[in-house]
Amino acid sequence: MDAPPDDLIALRAALAQAQAKALAAEQLAAAAQAKLAAVETDTQAQIAALKLLIEKLQRELYGQRSERKARLLDQLELELEELEASASEDELAAEQAAAQTTSVTAFARKRPSRQPFPDHLPRERVVIPAPTTCPCCGSSRLSRLGETVTESAERVPASHKIIQTVREKVSCRDCERISQAPAPFHVTPRGWAGPNLLASILVDKFAHHLPLNRQCERFARERLHVSLSTAADQVGHACATLKPLHTLLERHVLTADRLHGDDTTVPVLAKGKTDIARLWVYLRDDRPFAGPAPPAALFYYSRDRSGIHPEQHLAGYTGLLQADAYAGYDRLYDPARKPAPVTDALCWAHARRKFFELADIATKARRGAKAPEISPVALEAVKRIDGLFDLERTINGLPTHERLAVRQDKAEPLVDELESWMRQQRAAMSRHATVAKALDYMLTRWERFARFLTDGRLCLTNNAAERALRGVALGRRAWMFAGSDRGGQRAAFMYSLMVSAKLNDIDPQAWLADVLARINDLPQTRLHELLPWEWKQRREAQKATAA
């Protein structure tokens, strides 16, 4: 039997009321869940951010200590990224849930204040017209009060264009001779790529570590079809074009009073396997002692780590070399070397690292009982060495004589106390003690470690060279190995240019594009104008004149 109409109406009203209560409860639960997730996420994000900041600061102070630390840094960045994404996702879900009811207030997550967009970026105004009549009363008597501007960043996808250079021909009616303007300049022989495109290929390959096959895939998605062999052909031609500039750069580096030297591994493809080759870097950086010469880096490639390679690289060099204790450098320091021996200075960061591994409290806490015991001697050595680092930071960038005066007044007593303390500790332990090797590393080379006390040009560490090699370590993850010895040599060639540009705070792509466009038009006597530091000075002078 059918229910009376009044009962149906009452049932429907009760059902609607129950649904409204259920929806409100659902919105409250969603908002509470989002708020709880946000609190937990913010806490974790703050922890991860603090760890990331601490690790980055430690790397800036002491240099990169190990590949394990680099992996930890990557993991923290990934964790922070995921936490932030989850927080934003929960916040949006709460907003969408709250929008379905008026009885629940949407949850708003606390966000850090956003920095304004840079002034140099172009602005495109999209104007939303004001209403022509009042939405309240319908009147058309409106007066303008101003405007509210909301900015959002947008990315314009990469675009390509084909430049057609048309050379008209004319014929003389008197002598019947045909005349035509000369052929346009090409960056490379039979070149199809303009300077900006070619610079982009080079920077993506050697600075951003994007192999050519992946670049060609990206070009194809952008509807510019470039074969791998064609792109590789242009890279080879570009290196040949840039060789005169590289020669000037090499001359500038090797005339320095002091160099940083280091090397790193580079897998190279061999028959059915990969061999471990080497990339060497020699870096000129006079900024720590207020030197006027601009910084620059020089890379070399070799198939092995034989000591003959640094001997060939620095055949005519007779200045100061800051490096590690690698025995391959020893022939450079031979008093009988011609034209003169190189003066060596060792890196305190390398020495500190050996003690730090035995005094890493964080590792001990993380591994628990499985971790090796903390060495009190190593911990004390780290504290004493850190005192020298603290002092060095106060004199970084001062002239040579001022640095030397501070070192002789304040650093020399610390070094003498450290040596005396180390020798006492070493005499009291066996040669099998875990910390004995770290002590012997310094004590057997003490004169070379203490050389910074007698020369204000020397730095306490060789971290500058390690920073220059950092891009190679990152690149190995992308390109895995060099295709051949010629490929390794080409990489060293381009790394010299890229790293030198970065050392001078220059965008490598903008610099290379301009260099490639002008290098064949400049006479040899003016080629130095394209070196990164001179190029930067001229650009800044032009901007100042235009302003």
Where is pLDDT greater, at 130 or 395? 395
Lowest-confidence region among 2-16, 33-47, 320-334, 486-500: 33-47
pLDDT bracket for residue 48 (50, 70, 90): low
What H or E segment, with its residue span, contains residue 230?
helix 228-254
Where is pLDDT greater, at 156 or 486? 486
What pLDDT score was predicted for residue 62?
47
3 state DSSP class of 408:
helix
Prior bond of 339 cis (ω within 30°): yes
Per-residue pLDDT reduced to its tens digit, 89-129:
565 566 666 665 555 555 455 555 667 878 888 888 989 88
Tokens found for residue 393:
């930071």
User: 241 in a domain, yes or no?
Assistant: yes
**Could you count the other beta carbons within 10 Å of the beta carbon of residue 457?**
19
**Could you count the other beta carbons within 10 Å of the beta carbon of residue 360?**
20
User: 92 in a domain, yes or no?
Assistant: yes
SS (H, E, C) 372-417: CCCCHHHHHHHHHHHHHHHHHHHHCCCCHHHHHHHHHHHHHHHHHH
The four Cα atoms 131, 134, 138, 142 give a dihedral, to 10 degrees, of -90
Lowest-confidence region among 114-123, 172-181, 377-386, 428-437: 114-123
**Which residues form the domain of 309?**
196-314+487-541
For residue 47, CA distances in Å to 42, 81, 294, 345, 524 come to 8, 13, 40, 39, 56
Number of structural domains (the chain) is: 2
User: 404 in a domain, yes or no?
Assistant: no
- Alpha-carbon span 132 to 161, nearest angstrom: 43
What pLDDT score was predicted for residue 43?
46
User: 310 in a domain, yes or no?
Assistant: yes
103 plus 201 within the same structural domain: no
**Could you count the other beta carbons within 10 Å of the beta carbon of residue 419?**
15
User: 235 in a domain, yes or no?
Assistant: yes
- Whether the pLDDT of residue 85 is over 60: the answer is no
User: 525 in a domain, yes or no?
Assistant: yes
524, 244 contact by CB (below 8 A)? yes
What pLDDT score was predicted for residue 327?
92
Where is pLDDT greater, at 231 or 528? 528
pLDDT bracket for residue 155 (50, 70, 90): confident
3 state DSSP class of 80:
helix
Tokens found for residue 295:
């910084």
- Whether the pLDDT of residue 378 is over 50: the answer is yes
pLDDT bracket for residue 223 (50, 70, 90): confident
User: 167 in a domain, yes or no?
Assistant: no
Per-residue pLDDT reduced to its tens digit, 209-220:
888 888 999 999
Say how many CA atoms lie within 13 Å of 540 toward its Cβ: 9
The residue from 109, 124, 140 where one domain ends is 109
What pLDDT score was predicted for residue 222?
87
- Whether the pLDDT of residue 46 is over 50: the answer is yes
Phi, psi of 81 (to 5 degrees): -60, -45
User: 372 in a domain, yes or no?
Assistant: no
